[in-house]
Structure 1
Amino acid sequence: MDGVDVVLRKYDGRPHRRVTTVHLGEDRHGTWLGTPMGTIVTYSYGGKPAAPTRHNAVRLVPHDRWWCAVFFAAPNHLDVYCDITVPARWDGPSEVTLIDLDLDLVRYRDGRVELDDADEFVTNTAAFGYPAEVVTQAQAAAAGLHADLTAGAEPFGTDYRAWLEKL
Protein backbone atom coordinates (compact mmCIF):
# COMPACT_ATOMS: atom_id res chain seq x y z
CA MET A 1 0.00 0.00 0.00
CA ASP A 2 1.45 3.32 -1.09
CA GLY A 3 1.57 6.48 0.99
CA VAL A 4 -0.56 9.50 0.10
CA ASP A 5 0.06 12.93 1.59
CA VAL A 6 -3.19 14.69 2.46
CA VAL A 7 -2.60 18.44 2.45
CA LEU A 8 -5.30 20.72 3.83
CA ARG A 9 -5.02 24.43 3.09
CA LYS A 10 -7.06 27.50 3.88
CA TYR A 11 -8.82 29.30 1.05
CA ASP A 12 -5.94 31.78 0.67
CA GLY A 13 -3.50 28.88 0.18
CA ARG A 14 -1.94 28.89 3.65
CA PRO A 15 -1.10 25.44 5.03
CA HIS A 16 -3.62 24.14 7.55
CA ARG A 17 -2.65 20.54 8.34
CA ARG A 18 -0.92 17.59 6.72
CA VAL A 19 -0.89 13.85 7.24
CA THR A 20 0.68 10.97 5.35
CA THR A 21 -1.88 8.22 4.88
CA VAL A 22 -1.95 4.71 3.45
CA HIS A 23 -3.77 4.23 0.13
CA LEU A 24 -6.34 1.49 0.80
CA GLY A 25 -8.26 1.49 -2.48
CA GLU A 26 -11.16 2.97 -4.38
CA ASP A 27 -14.84 2.30 -4.77
CA ARG A 28 -17.92 4.09 -6.09
CA HIS A 29 -17.62 6.66 -3.28
CA GLY A 30 -14.03 7.70 -3.99
CA THR A 31 -10.53 7.03 -2.71
CA TRP A 32 -10.06 5.50 0.73
CA LEU A 33 -6.97 6.40 2.75
CA GLY A 34 -5.96 5.00 6.13
CA THR A 35 -4.30 6.53 9.16
CA PRO A 36 -3.24 3.84 11.62
CA MET A 37 -3.14 4.80 15.28
CA GLY A 38 0.07 6.75 15.91
CA THR A 39 0.17 8.48 12.51
CA ILE A 40 1.63 11.97 12.91
CA VAL A 41 -0.59 14.91 11.95
CA THR A 42 1.22 18.21 11.38
CA TYR A 43 -0.68 21.42 12.13
CA SER A 44 0.24 24.77 10.61
CA TYR A 45 -1.78 27.13 12.74
CA GLY A 46 -2.09 28.46 16.25
CA GLY A 47 1.21 26.95 17.37
CA LYS A 48 -0.43 23.54 17.71
CA PRO A 49 2.30 20.90 17.78
CA ALA A 50 2.38 17.83 15.56
CA ALA A 51 0.56 14.98 17.26
CA PRO A 52 -0.03 11.26 16.77
CA THR A 53 -3.52 9.99 16.01
CA ARG A 54 -5.13 8.16 18.93
CA HIS A 55 -7.28 5.73 16.93
CA ASN A 56 -7.28 3.99 13.58
CA ALA A 57 -9.24 5.94 11.00
CA VAL A 58 -10.02 5.94 7.29
CA ARG A 59 -10.51 9.01 5.13
CA LEU A 60 -12.77 9.12 2.11
CA VAL A 61 -11.78 11.56 -0.61
CA PRO A 62 -14.86 11.53 -2.85
CA HIS A 63 -14.91 12.19 -6.57
CA ASP A 64 -15.91 15.81 -7.30
CA ARG A 65 -17.70 16.48 -4.00
CA TRP A 66 -17.43 19.47 -1.69
CA TRP A 67 -16.34 17.45 1.36
CA CYS A 68 -14.09 14.72 2.67
CA ALA A 69 -14.84 12.44 5.60
CA VAL A 70 -12.85 10.70 8.32
CA PHE A 71 -14.34 7.56 9.87
CA PHE A 72 -12.96 6.62 13.28
CA ALA A 73 -12.52 3.20 14.85
CA ALA A 74 -13.95 2.64 18.31
CA PRO A 75 -13.47 3.65 21.05
CA ASN A 76 -13.20 7.20 19.65
CA HIS A 77 -16.30 9.16 20.72
CA LEU A 78 -16.59 10.42 17.12
CA ASP A 79 -17.93 8.11 14.45
CA VAL A 80 -17.49 10.42 11.43
CA TYR A 81 -15.98 13.87 10.95
CA CYS A 82 -16.63 15.67 7.66
CA ASP A 83 -14.70 18.70 6.47
CA ILE A 84 -16.47 20.87 3.93
CA THR A 85 -13.84 21.48 1.25
CA VAL A 86 -13.60 22.44 -2.38
CA PRO A 87 -13.37 19.29 -4.52
CA ALA A 88 -10.05 17.49 -4.02
CA ARG A 89 -7.13 18.20 -6.32
CA TRP A 90 -4.81 15.26 -6.90
CA ASP A 91 -1.15 15.87 -7.71
CA GLY A 92 -0.30 12.45 -9.06
CA PRO A 93 -1.13 9.37 -7.02
CA SER A 94 0.79 10.42 -3.90
CA GLU A 95 -0.65 13.82 -2.90
CA VAL A 96 -4.13 15.24 -2.57
CA THR A 97 -4.88 18.85 -1.65
CA LEU A 98 -8.11 19.91 0.02
CA ILE A 99 -9.11 23.52 0.61
CA ASP A 100 -10.79 23.53 4.02
CA LEU A 101 -13.77 25.90 4.14
CA ASP A 102 -14.02 25.79 7.95
CA LEU A 103 -17.47 24.22 8.08
CA ASP A 104 -17.68 20.72 9.51
CA LEU A 105 -20.19 18.03 10.37
CA VAL A 106 -19.72 15.51 13.13
CA ARG A 107 -21.57 12.28 13.88
CA TYR A 108 -20.98 10.94 17.37
CA ARG A 109 -21.12 7.27 18.38
CA ASP A 110 -24.55 7.87 19.93
CA GLY A 111 -25.89 8.91 16.49
CA ARG A 112 -26.10 12.68 17.11
CA VAL A 113 -25.16 14.79 14.08
CA GLU A 114 -23.95 18.35 14.61
CA LEU A 115 -22.83 21.20 12.41
CA ASP A 116 -19.52 22.50 13.74
CA ASP A 117 -17.61 25.75 13.18
CA ALA A 118 -20.48 27.62 11.51
CA ASP A 119 -19.19 30.80 13.18
CA GLU A 120 -15.68 30.21 11.76
CA PHE A 121 -17.22 29.70 8.30
CA VAL A 122 -18.98 33.10 8.52
CA THR A 123 -15.82 34.81 9.79
CA ASN A 124 -13.60 33.28 7.11
CA THR A 125 -16.14 33.89 4.35
CA ALA A 126 -15.59 37.59 5.01
CA ALA A 127 -11.86 37.35 5.79
CA PHE A 128 -10.95 35.30 2.70
CA GLY A 129 -13.65 36.68 0.43
CA TYR A 130 -15.24 33.36 -0.47
CA PRO A 131 -17.11 33.87 -3.76
CA ALA A 132 -20.90 33.44 -3.62
CA GLU A 133 -20.63 30.14 -5.54
CA VAL A 134 -18.23 28.74 -2.92
CA VAL A 135 -20.56 29.78 -0.08
CA THR A 136 -23.56 28.23 -1.87
CA GLN A 137 -21.70 24.97 -2.61
CA ALA A 138 -20.38 24.72 0.97
CA GLN A 139 -23.82 25.30 2.50
CA ALA A 140 -25.42 22.78 0.12
CA ALA A 141 -22.73 20.21 0.93
CA ALA A 142 -23.30 20.73 4.66
CA ALA A 143 -27.08 20.32 4.32
CA GLY A 144 -26.70 17.18 2.20
CA LEU A 145 -24.15 15.67 4.58
CA HIS A 146 -26.36 16.39 7.59
CA ALA A 147 -29.20 14.48 5.95
CA ASP A 148 -26.97 11.59 4.84
CA LEU A 149 -25.23 11.27 8.20
CA THR A 150 -28.55 11.32 10.04
CA ALA A 151 -30.10 8.71 7.74
CA GLY A 152 -26.99 6.54 7.59
CA ALA A 153 -26.94 6.79 3.80
CA GLU A 154 -23.86 5.28 2.21
CA PRO A 155 -20.98 5.73 2.57
CA PHE A 156 -22.06 6.72 6.10
CA GLY A 157 -24.03 3.53 6.80
CA THR A 158 -21.85 0.44 6.79
CA ASP A 159 -19.60 0.72 3.69
CA TYR A 160 -16.80 2.41 5.62
CA ARG A 161 -16.48 -0.47 8.09
CA ALA A 162 -14.85 -2.73 5.49
CA TRP A 163 -12.19 -0.06 4.94
CA LEU A 164 -11.55 0.22 8.67
CA GLU A 165 -11.16 -3.56 8.80
CA LYS A 166 -8.75 -3.46 5.84
CA LEU A 167 -6.62 -0.89 7.66
Structure 2
Amino acid sequence: MPFETVNVTYRKYDGSLHWHHTALLLGEDEHGVWTGCVAGTLGRKGAEPPIAWEHPFVLLFPRDAWWTALFNAEPDRTEIYCDITTVPEWRDGEVTMVDLDLDVIRKRDGRIFLDDEDEFAEHQVRYAYPPEVIANARATADHLMEAVTAFTAPFATPPHWLSHVV
Protein backbone atom coordinates (compact mmCIF):
# COMPACT_ATOMS: atom_id res chain seq x y z
CA MET A 1 0.00 0.00 0.00
CA PRO A 2 1.52 3.38 -0.97
CA PHE A 3 1.88 5.95 1.77
CA GLU A 4 0.68 9.54 1.62
CA THR A 5 3.41 12.18 1.44
CA VAL A 6 3.56 15.04 3.95
CA ASN A 7 5.72 18.13 4.24
CA VAL A 8 7.83 18.39 7.39
CA THR A 9 8.80 21.98 8.19
CA TYR A 10 10.91 23.14 11.11
CA ARG A 11 11.18 26.91 11.55
CA LYS A 12 13.13 29.14 13.89
CA TYR A 13 11.36 31.37 16.40
CA ASP A 14 11.39 34.37 14.03
CA GLY A 15 9.53 32.28 11.43
CA SER A 16 12.55 31.69 9.20
CA LEU A 17 12.76 28.35 7.46
CA HIS A 18 14.98 25.73 9.14
CA TRP A 19 15.03 22.02 8.15
CA HIS A 20 12.33 20.99 5.68
CA HIS A 21 11.62 17.94 3.56
CA THR A 22 8.89 15.56 2.46
CA ALA A 23 8.20 12.32 4.29
CA LEU A 24 5.89 9.33 4.09
CA LEU A 25 2.99 9.38 6.53
CA LEU A 26 3.36 5.93 8.12
CA GLY A 27 0.72 5.87 10.83
CA GLU A 28 -0.24 6.72 14.36
CA ASP A 29 0.02 4.99 17.73
CA GLU A 30 -0.08 5.84 21.43
CA HIS A 31 3.11 7.92 21.06
CA GLY A 32 1.92 10.13 18.22
CA VAL A 33 2.16 10.36 14.43
CA TRP A 34 5.02 8.65 12.61
CA THR A 35 6.56 9.68 9.29
CA GLY A 36 9.48 8.10 7.47
CA CYS A 37 12.16 8.80 4.92
CA VAL A 38 13.97 6.27 2.75
CA ALA A 39 17.70 6.52 2.08
CA GLY A 40 18.35 9.23 -0.48
CA THR A 41 15.50 11.47 0.66
CA LEU A 42 16.36 15.12 0.03
CA GLY A 43 16.20 17.69 2.81
CA ARG A 44 17.16 21.34 3.05
CA LYS A 45 18.26 23.60 5.85
CA GLY A 46 16.71 26.98 5.12
CA ALA A 47 17.62 28.03 1.56
CA GLU A 48 20.82 25.95 1.47
CA PRO A 49 21.24 23.40 -1.32
CA PRO A 50 19.43 20.10 -0.72
CA ILE A 51 21.27 17.17 0.79
CA ALA A 52 20.46 13.48 0.39
CA TRP A 53 20.24 11.58 3.66
CA GLU A 54 22.36 8.46 3.51
CA HIS A 55 20.30 6.30 5.88
CA PRO A 56 16.55 5.81 6.32
CA PHE A 57 14.84 7.20 9.40
CA VAL A 58 11.46 7.73 11.02
CA LEU A 59 10.19 10.82 12.80
CA LEU A 60 7.77 10.84 15.72
CA PHE A 61 5.50 13.83 16.23
CA PRO A 62 3.90 13.37 19.66
CA ARG A 63 0.57 14.96 20.49
CA ASP A 64 0.68 18.04 22.71
CA ALA A 65 4.40 17.76 23.51
CA TRP A 66 7.28 20.18 23.00
CA TRP A 67 9.52 17.81 21.03
CA THR A 68 9.97 15.60 17.99
CA ALA A 69 12.15 12.50 17.73
CA LEU A 70 14.11 11.06 14.84
CA PHE A 71 15.08 7.37 14.91
CA ASN A 72 17.84 6.45 12.46
CA ALA A 73 18.30 3.04 10.88
CA GLU A 74 21.65 1.34 11.29
CA PRO A 75 24.46 1.90 10.50
CA ASP A 76 23.92 5.60 11.26
CA ARG A 77 26.01 6.48 14.32
CA THR A 78 23.16 8.49 15.86
CA GLU A 79 20.37 6.24 17.10
CA ILE A 80 17.95 8.91 18.39
CA TYR A 81 17.87 12.66 17.83
CA CYS A 82 15.20 14.59 19.74
CA ASP A 83 14.55 18.20 18.84
CA ILE A 84 13.04 20.44 21.48
CA THR A 85 10.31 22.31 19.59
CA THR A 86 6.98 23.95 20.00
CA VAL A 87 4.05 21.53 19.79
CA PRO A 88 3.89 20.16 16.22
CA GLU A 89 0.87 21.45 14.27
CA TRP A 90 -0.78 19.54 11.41
CA ARG A 91 -2.53 21.40 8.61
CA ASP A 92 -3.16 20.69 4.93
CA GLY A 93 -0.60 17.91 4.49
CA GLU A 94 2.12 19.63 6.49
CA VAL A 95 3.47 19.31 10.01
CA THR A 96 5.27 22.38 11.28
CA MET A 97 6.95 23.41 14.51
CA VAL A 98 9.51 25.87 15.85
CA ASP A 99 12.94 24.43 16.59
CA LEU A 100 14.05 25.66 20.03
CA ASP A 101 17.68 24.67 19.56
CA LEU A 102 18.14 22.11 22.36
CA ASP A 103 18.63 18.51 21.23
CA VAL A 104 18.76 15.25 23.18
CA ILE A 105 20.93 12.75 21.35
CA ARG A 106 21.65 9.05 21.88
CA LYS A 107 24.57 7.64 19.92
CA ARG A 108 24.83 3.95 19.06
CA ASP A 109 27.88 3.69 21.31
CA GLY A 110 25.63 4.54 24.28
CA ARG A 111 26.54 8.19 24.78
CA ILE A 112 23.56 10.40 25.63
CA PHE A 113 23.87 14.17 25.79
CA LEU A 114 22.07 17.49 25.60
CA ASP A 115 23.35 19.48 22.61
CA ASP A 116 23.24 23.12 21.51
CA GLU A 117 22.84 24.79 24.91
CA ASP A 118 25.01 27.63 23.60
CA GLU A 119 22.65 28.15 20.65
CA PHE A 120 19.65 28.06 23.00
CA ALA A 121 21.22 30.78 25.19
CA GLU A 122 22.10 32.90 22.14
CA HIS A 123 18.64 32.58 20.60
CA GLN A 124 16.89 33.47 23.86
CA VAL A 125 18.38 36.92 23.34
CA ARG A 126 18.27 37.13 19.52
CA TYR A 127 14.65 35.96 19.21
CA ALA A 128 13.44 37.20 22.62
CA TYR A 129 12.03 33.86 23.73
CA PRO A 130 9.26 34.48 26.26
CA PRO A 131 9.84 33.05 29.77
CA GLU A 132 7.22 30.31 29.24
CA VAL A 133 8.98 29.13 26.05
CA ILE A 134 12.31 28.95 27.89
CA ALA A 135 10.71 27.08 30.81
CA ASN A 136 8.91 24.61 28.51
CA ALA A 137 12.07 23.98 26.48
CA ARG A 138 14.16 23.35 29.62
CA ALA A 139 11.55 21.10 31.24
CA THR A 140 11.15 19.13 28.00
CA ALA A 141 14.92 18.69 27.65
CA ASP A 142 15.13 17.41 31.24
CA HIS A 143 12.24 15.00 30.65
CA LEU A 144 13.75 13.67 27.41
CA MET A 145 17.21 13.22 28.96
CA GLU A 146 15.60 11.03 31.62
CA ALA A 147 13.38 9.09 29.19
CA VAL A 148 16.11 8.47 26.60
CA THR A 149 18.62 7.48 29.31
CA ALA A 150 16.12 5.11 30.97
CA PHE A 151 15.12 3.56 27.61
CA THR A 152 11.45 4.22 28.32
CA ALA A 153 8.95 3.98 25.47
CA PRO A 154 9.19 5.10 22.75
CA PHE A 155 12.98 5.17 23.29
CA ALA A 156 13.32 1.54 24.44
CA THR A 157 13.81 -0.23 21.11
CA PRO A 158 13.95 0.80 17.48
CA PRO A 159 10.38 1.54 16.43
CA HIS A 160 8.68 -1.03 14.19
CA TRP A 161 7.90 1.90 11.86
CA LEU A 162 11.50 1.72 10.58
CA SER A 163 10.60 -1.48 8.71
CA HIS A 164 8.52 0.64 6.29
CA VAL A 165 11.52 2.68 5.09
CA VAL A 166 14.53 0.32 5.23
Task: Pick the TM interval, shorter chain.
Answer: over 0.9
Give the CA deviation at 1:142: 0.2
1:24-64 CA-to-partner distances (Å, cap 9, x unmatched) read 0000000000011000001116xx42100110100000001
**2:110 corresponds to:** 111
| Matches of 2:29 and 2:72, distance apart in 1 | 19
**2:159 corresponds to:** 161
1:80-118 CA-to-partner distances (Å, cap 9, x unmatched) read 0011000011113x1010100011111000221111000
Any idea what SS the aligned residue of 1:145 has?
Answer: helix
Aligned pairs for 1:15-164 (under 5 A) are 15-44=17-46, 48-92=48-92, 94-158=93-157, 160-164=158-162
Any idea what SS the aligned residue of 1:130 has?
Answer: coil
Give the CA deviation at 1:21: 0.2
Equivalent position amino acid for 2:123 in 1: N
| TM-score for both structures, normalised by structure 1 | 0.95
| Matches of 1:71 and 1:153, distance apart in 2 | 14
Contact 1:111 1:150 in 2 (8 A): no
Give the CA deviation at 1:17: 1.6
Any idea what SS the aligned residue of 2:19 has?
Answer: strand
CA root-mean-square deviation: 0.9
**2:11 corresponds to:** 9
Which structure 1 residue ranges, 4+ long, deviate > 2 Å from structure 2?
A: none
Equivalent position amino acid for 1:73 in 2: A
Equivalent position amino acid for 1:107 in 2: R
Report % sequence identity: 44
Equivalent position amino acid for 2:52 in 1: P
Equivalent position amino acid for 2:35 in 1: L
Counting helix residues as a fraction of each chain, which structure ranks higher?
1
How many pairs does the alignment contain? 163
| Matches of 1:130 and 1:152, distance apart in 2 | 31
1:10-33 CA-to-partner distances (Å, cap 9, x unmatched) read 001011121100000000000000
Give unmatched runs, 5+ long, in structure 1: none
Give unmatched runs, 5+ long, in structure 2: none
